Amino acid sequence: MSLRQETGSTRLDDAARAGWLYYVAGNTQDQIAAKLGISRQTAQRLVSLAMSEGLIKVRVDHPIANCLDLAARLKSRFALDLVEVVPSDPASNSTTIGIAEAAAAEIERRLRSEAPIVMAIGTGRTLKAAIEQLPPMDCPQHKVVSLTGNISPDGSAAFYNVIFTMADRVKARSFPMPLPVIASSPAEREMLLNQPMIQPTLALAAEADVTFVGIGDLGPKAPLYEDGFISESELKALQKAGGIAEIVGWVFDREGRMIEGITNDRVSSAALPSREKSLVIALAMGDRKLPGILAAVNRRLVNGLITDERTAEALLAG
């Protein structure tokens, strides 16, 4: 596909989104402009384009309309503050395609703000894929803080910790967490988190305006296990205790309750920022992650979600 074709396709997607918001959701052009982060004139042109291209026929005659409808239903069903649903590729088993690009767009939109913000970042494959989609930016007014440690058990840098990659791309002040992802004991964790150089980072993470995290499953190929952060016996112990998923290392059960002990009393990650005062957005899709996503939105471990059509439909059916 040529650049011109890609640009045209993106333009139609934008027109379909604006058309849905105007004709189906009943938004004014001013409201559409605010929600999409565009000028009123651009919103007006997109709504006109949706009509002239034949996308409006009582309903928006475009695949993205289903995504918008699913997003609205998820938002209402789980009382979420932000939901983005991307189309599903029936032939793909990827857990990143589509949502990584959508997350990158949302991250970029937040970073384009002239007003200073604190953005907290988790870790994982999906988030790494999203950060790699970001364009070079110059954002000295913002602060980006890592929620997780960046040291693997063997002393090497954790591969899926993205704070340094992001800081390089967006030129914002970055605050890494120079700690092991999981400490060797609860006492070591307590000692590490009380270090003078760590306390300001933890305090900054708690003040985040927006946070982006992944959700890792706790099946046989759990990222925590495959990446060497926990042993096979620890994985089995977490599963036996009811653990089904984790966010920045914190393992929880089907009800969204944190597992007591095992590895959770050694996780050196910051606590998730307040979902009442800020936005915590999970990037997750796929069958393996579905139980964890459902638990996270039900328990309000997150109040934002970027996912795909198939996962959205499964969440609504659950």
DSSP assignment of 261-301 equals: STTTTTB-SPPPPPTTTSEEEEE--STTTHHHHHHHHHTTS
Q: Contact at 8 Å (CB) between 44 and 29?
A: yes
The pLDDT score that the predictor gives to residue 60 is 47
Chain mean position to CA 154: 28
Summary mean pLDDT of the chain: 88
The pLDDT score that the predictor gives to residue 169 is 87
For the stretch 259-311, pLDDT in tens is 998 999 999 999 999 999 999 999 999 999 999 999 999 999 999 999 999 99
Closest CA to 47 of 15, 80, 75, 69: 15
For the stretch 146-156, pLDDT in tens is 999 877 777 66
For the stretch 77-86, pLDDT in tens is 999 999 999 8
Q: Where in the chain is the domain with CATH 1.10.10?
A: 1-53
Choose the CATH number for 65-317 among 1.20.140.10, 3.40.50.1360, 3.40.190.10, 3.20.20.70.
3.40.50.1360
State the first-to-last Cα distance of the chain, in angstroms, to the nearest integer: 37
The pLDDT score that the predictor gives to residue 6 is 43
Position 24 pLDDT exceeds 60: yes
The pLDDT score that the predictor gives to residue 157 is 63
The pLDDT score that the predictor gives to residue 116 is 95
3-state secondary structure of 202: helix
Residue 90, C-beta contacts closer than 8 angstroms, at least 6 positions apart = none
Residue 199, C-beta contacts closer than 8 angstroms, at least 6 positions apart = 193
| Higher-pLDDT residue of 106, 89 | 106
Chain mean position to CA 41: 30
| Fold (topology level) of 1-53 | Arc Repressor Mutant, subunit A (1.10.10)
Dihedral, CA atoms, 65, 69, 72, 75, nearest 10 degrees?
Answer: -120
The pLDDT score that the predictor gives to residue 59 is 44
- Give the C-alpha separation, 49 to 45, whole Å: 6
- Give the C-alpha separation, 179 to 183, whole Å: 8
Q: Where in the chain is the domain with CATH 3.40.50.1360?
A: 65-317
Strand partners of residue 86? 308
| Higher-pLDDT residue of 159, 63 | 159
For the stretch 126-184, pLDDT in tens is 899 899 888 888 999 999 999 998 777 776 666 667 888 888 888 899 998 888 889 98
Q: Which residue has the tokens 């988790």?
A: 122
Give the pLDDT band of residue 211 (cuts 50, 70, 90). very high
